[in-house]
Chain A
């Protein structure tokens, strides 16, 4: 299908203005939303992912494609929901209280969007209660916590404890990350997963939610 091919190509170029227009065009042409997703958007991101793994594409190129993907998903998502297509998931992200670092978290968010997840980014310096509220109100199935300081890492455990107190710990998979965070730390605090960088974070999340 020509328009689906074009969606994939424009996505690979990071053309976030064209992709939603083409998605609309595809919808108007009565192409099933699930097919637009798989053969247009996802097909494009697969090529991008492949090139990235081969070091042909660098991170900024992946990010602009992810942005184009997200722009396309904004048009497509409601139609997908209508037709009963199951979406990848909802991710709440944030940097814990007392910590202002956000670039790594932003990268994770962008790549998650590129992978078809819906991302609710709470920003930096986020207290436990806000994380809990956001997981509840968005019915998120993934919670990602970021910290760059050894002094703020302990907050991650506080968030997990808050989820337990609110009785919703089972509803969500908790991932942690940030330069001083380790696999061991993640296990010790009862997180569900850890990843050392943004790209593997996406893989890990996919693995966690099956």
Chain B
């Protein structure tokens, strides 16, 4: 898919970006980061960071950070198993997709909230395989019916079986991570093929403020050693794990995600990484996490600007809502954050499809609705094409003063390219809308999701390969 570039919206000035960057360097060199992972800490120590083992504290100098930024690739290609799904994460190319690893889902048939199961991992992957505006799948749900040590391999395996788009996922154990890489290498044909065309990637979080924990520090260390692509987000929350001001949050975020990036480049220079942000604001009444605030959009658009300053491929978050139902709040929250972050030109905007209720719950019908929202958002990112052809003076000559363009060949030729054709928006006159039974977005979305799940056949894997994988990993559920 030819990338579409954004970047028309930037909520920071040049001066603001520089000031945040410099301040983040101050955080890293003066306050430092606690690093609880032994191999990660030792790496920093060996490579000359100022370390205090008793406090597990690592202080990084400006030159250490700048060195790492210089070594990090400026382009990360996250591949699908079909080339048309490849994502060119560089500059201001914009892609949007799913996210979450949530524990709950709104069932399509019953409309009730229930726990997510492996079946949902499969079904949602297949649903997203068919939705044209979902550019990638960040594994969205957790299979509550599996024992913890079988989760990683099954989440990835089931998704690979049902979706040929790029699959990025959080992971829960080191063994699980290594198994997933091994499985992907087998599918790709070799370790080298997988590195050349990585169709899976990972997410490991830094803990705000300023802490790399033991489990994810270890996992990040190993992923870097293995040279697989990884997003390293931090999730500061305003007033809770960062200052309540957005610039304060961005300063912490910048320091935190860069601290992860530095680790990867120290372990294995050239490791493909994504500067990453999952930050948002809080509800001041409870200091609880909110996902649909306008500040969330500003924050992630700001994070994109910070990454662009360093020319780093980046991962951000948008398109969610705190509403529990498909209502107006659901619509405006998702639209506002999606449009702000997409226009900012972020490369990999996740959580943008399928989530409701503070990012705690996935919803089948929501994927279809969000597919529509993203379609509109991408049309905005595409912007206005100006050329002799689009200006169409000839069409004016044909129409003349007082004429019309309704059946002009130019209209027919350009109309589909130029205009987003919504599947869900109702544009009928009231009389017709009444006649057609007062359709609404929610019902239409449910019907479309149902049809896709009934009919869509994904690429899957060849039988022999499937069998081979099940022999290698007996915990894989068919």
Which 10 pairs of residues, A with B, have the shortest CB-CB distance?
A: A58-B284, A59-B287, A197-B286, A103-B240, A58-B285, A59-B286, A59-B285, A59-B284, A151-B148, A107-B287
Q: In the complex, A202 Cα to B27 Cα: how many Å?
A: 36
Q: Contact flags (1/0) for A107-129 with B, using CB distance below 8 Å?
A: 10000000000000000000000
Q: In the complex, A180 Cα to B240 Cα: how many Å?
A: 19
Contact residue range for chain A? 10 to 19
Cβ of B11 under 8 Å from chain A: no
Taking the nearest CB of chain B, how far is it from the CB of A114, in angstroms? 14
CB-CB < 8 A to A60: which residues of B? Answer: 239, 244, 284, 287
Q: In the complex, A103 Cα to B360 Cα: how many Å?
A: 18
Taking the nearest CB of chain A, how far is it from the CB of B445, in angstroms? 27
- Residues 228-266 (chain B) with a chain A CB within 8 angstroms: 239-241, 244
B side interface size, CB within 8 A = 16
Taking the nearest CB of chain B, how far is it from the CB of A181, in angstroms? 12
Residues of B within 8 A of A (CB): 103, 142, 144, 148, 207, 213, 239-241, 244, 284-288, 360
Q: In the complex, A100 Cα to B205 Cα: how many Å?
A: 14
Supply 11 A–B pairs (Cβ within 8 Å), ascending by A: A58-B284, A59-B286, A60-B284, A100-B207, A103-B240, A103-B241, A107-B287, A150-B144, A151-B148, A197-B286, A198-B286
CB-CB < 8 A to A180: which residues of B? Answer: 103
Q: Choose among A55, A100, A150 the residue that contacts B285 (Cβ–Cβ < 8 A).
A: A55
| Contacts A60-B287, A180-B103 supplied; 16 other A-B pairs, CB < 8 Å | A52-B285, A55-B285, A58-B284, A59-B286, A59-B287, A60-B239, A60-B244, A100-B207, A103-B240, A103-B241, A150-B103, A150-B142, A150-B144, A151-B148, A198-B286, A199-B286
- Residues 37-79 (chain A) with a chain B CB within 8 angstroms: 52, 55, 58-60
Q: Contact flags (1/0) for A178-210 with B, using CB distance below 8 Å?
A: 011000000000000000011100000000000
Label chain B's interface by main secondary structure.
loop
Q: In the complex, A179 Cα to B239 Cα: how many Å?
A: 19
Taking the nearest CB of chain A, how far is it from the CB of B78, in angstroms? 28
Q: Contact flags (1/0) for A140-180 with B, using CB distance below 8 Å?
A: 00000000001100000000000000000000000000011
Beta-carbon nearest neighbor of A103 in chain B: B240
Taking the nearest CB of chain B, how far is it from the CB of A42, in angstroms? 22
Q: In the complex, A58 Cα to B360 Cα: how many Å?
A: 24
CB-CB < 8 A to A103: which residues of B? Answer: 240-241, 287
Q: In the complex, A8 Cα to B213 Cα: how many Å?
A: 42
Q: In the complex, A52 Cα to B283 Cα: how many Å?
A: 13
Taking the nearest CB of chain B, how far is it from the CB of A63, in angstroms? 8
Give the most central of A103, A151, A197: most B CB within 10 Å.
A103
